[in-house]
Amino acid sequence: MTAIDHLILGQVLDIHANPFDVEPDGCARHIRRGAILVRDGAIHEIGEAEDLRAAHPDARVTDHGEGVILPGFVDSHAHYPQTAIIASWGKRLIDWLNSYTFPEEMRFRDADYANEIANRYLNLLLTHGTTSVASFCTIHPASVTAIFAAAEQRGMAVTAGRTCMDRNAPDGLRDDAQSAYDESKALLETWHGRGRATYAITPRFSPTSTPEQLEALGALWAEHPDCPMQTHLSEQTDEVEWVAELYPSKKDYLDTYEAHGLLKPGGMFGHAIWLTDSERDRLRDHGAALIHCPTSNTFIGSGLFDTARAVAEGQTVGLATDTGGGSSFSMLHTMASAYEIGQLTGTALHPAQLLWLATTGSARAMRQADRIGTLALGSAADLVVLDLASTPAIAQRQARAETIWEAVFPTIMMGDDRAVVAVHVGGRLFDTHKGEWAFPDASHSRPLNPLISDSLGL
């Protein structure tokens, strides 16, 4: 026993195998009164609460009572600079970018503003149960510094990169091929691998980059192949047509990236809705990831991503908010939206599949599944604790549940930040309702919703 051992008690739900390959009951372990032993910020042991308490009598204890402990949510595509313009009305992609996004991103030339939004954004993530994100920044290096510094303060594993654009963007938001390369490289060298930071090479998308810029960023990626690369692909049909006009010599949208060294493992392609069969084959064969952004795809009217098809054909799929094109900071809302889009594309995704996509699936897409998005021993103790009876409407439905999946599904479909009782970041407890870090010894047992307490006779 070392002084820093920490026992976190609650219901433990460990989805240890891929529920797209294995039946729900074979892919998960549910410990009704379970415990996670955290040592040095990592998951050291999982078991029955009684057993671990007996084996580690000196560990400090945080008891979440009936709370369900899962890996913290992993959001594999977001734009933190769009925090303040989320839910902007009435536009489709290109008009939405020009009307709302670019003017807001312009404000990030002011480092104070970048810091304010980065801190606000990460607090919002934590209160929504998200402990890791892959975020675009803006063209301004200060926007990258702001998010990594805010993440470092909180101990969060954040992936981020300077968003590069050298055409089809307003004055003040354009760079060129060389400055995109130079500034990305300098930020990468400062941040990548510092603490829990991961630098992502980030061309916004082909319409806002010249071939020269994509080539330069492809070269940078070749020099740093362990970095991820994040961008957008085939989100809306008129965007796909625009790319064909801008790149007449390329055989399709994906080719604009592929021809410049931007298609390989570690590539994360947001949206990826309107793909040809050839693009689908090449994405899979090159080991890239498709990032499903369901609330964004409905909010901006982009189209329906067929998750079941993508998984069945062997794609790596992550799940993401795409804040602020996406209409939420919540991975619960994002799972609900993925479920509804699944219904519209012919597959009812199981709660185990939704939770897996929001944790391990996204972590795999980011090539970080060895350390986040999982309860595997040795991974970071980044955890979310859910109250499955957070509102009367949810409570009365889950009171009828006969399995853990039935119990958790109403929270997936109807839950929001009220369902997120706490997160642990590297084992450190953040009280999401108070919006503050708890003192090390805080006990954190929340009373059950009265409806549920009554139904359990408590």
Q: Of the candidates 105, 166, 258, 322, which one interacts with Zn ion according to CB under 5 A?
A: 322
* Distance in Å, CB of 91 to ligand GUN, minimum: 11
347-376 residues near ligand GUN, rule: CB under 6 A: none
Q: Of the candidates 196, 204, 250, 424, which one interacts with ligand GUN according to CB under 6 A?
A: 204
270 contacts Zn ion (rule: CB under 5 A): yes
279 contacts Zn ion (rule: CB under 5 A): no
With CB cut-offs between 5 and 8 Å by kind, which of ligand GUN, Zn ion, none does residue 204 bind? ligand GUN
**Side-chain-side CA neighbours of residue 184 (13 Å):** 37
Nearer to ligand GUN, 204 or 444 (CB): 204
Give CA–CA dist 187/150, Å, rounded.
Answer: 15
Structure tokens at 44: 């050291």
Q: Of the candidates 20, 73, 148, 205, which one interacts with ligand GUN according to CB under 6 A?
A: 205
* Distance in Å, CB of 380 to ligand GUN, minimum: 28
* Distance in Å, CB of 165 to ligand GUN, minimum: 9
* Distance in Å, CB of 79 to Zn ion, minimum: 6
Which region among 93-101, 274-282, 349-357, 378-386 touches ligand GUN (by CB under 6 A)? 93-101
Which region among 51-59, 258-266, 268-276, 406-414 touches Zn ion (by CB under 5 A)? 268-276
101-160 residues near ligand GUN, rule: CB under 6 A: 101
* Distance in Å, CB of 93 to ligand GUN, minimum: 6
Nearer to Zn ion, 239 or 255 (CB): 239
81 contacts Zn ion (rule: CB under 5 A): no
* Distance in Å, CB of 181 to ligand GUN, minimum: 20
165-204 residues near Zn ion, rule: CB under 5 A: none
Give CA–CA dist 61/73, Å, rounded.
Answer: 23
* Distance in Å, CB of 429 to ligand GUN, minimum: 33
Asked if residue 360 lies in contact with residue 311, where contact means CB atoms within 8 angstroms, the answer is no
232 contacts ligand GUN (rule: CB under 6 A): yes
Nearer to ligand GUN, 330 or 449 (CB): 330
Q: Of the candidates 6, 56, 79, 128, which one interacts with ligand GUN according to CB under 6 A?
A: 79
326 contacts Zn ion (rule: CB under 5 A): no
Instruction: Please name which of 47, 18, 30, 60 lies closest in space to residue 424, comparing C-alpha atoms.
Output: 60
* Distance in Å, CB of 127 to ligand GUN, minimum: 23
With CB cut-offs between 5 and 8 Å by kind, which of Zn ion, ligand GUN, none does residue 168 bind? none
Site residues, ligand GUN (CB under 6 A): 79, 93, 97, 101, 204-205, 232, 235, 296, 322, 325
Site residues, Zn ion (CB under 5 A): 270, 322
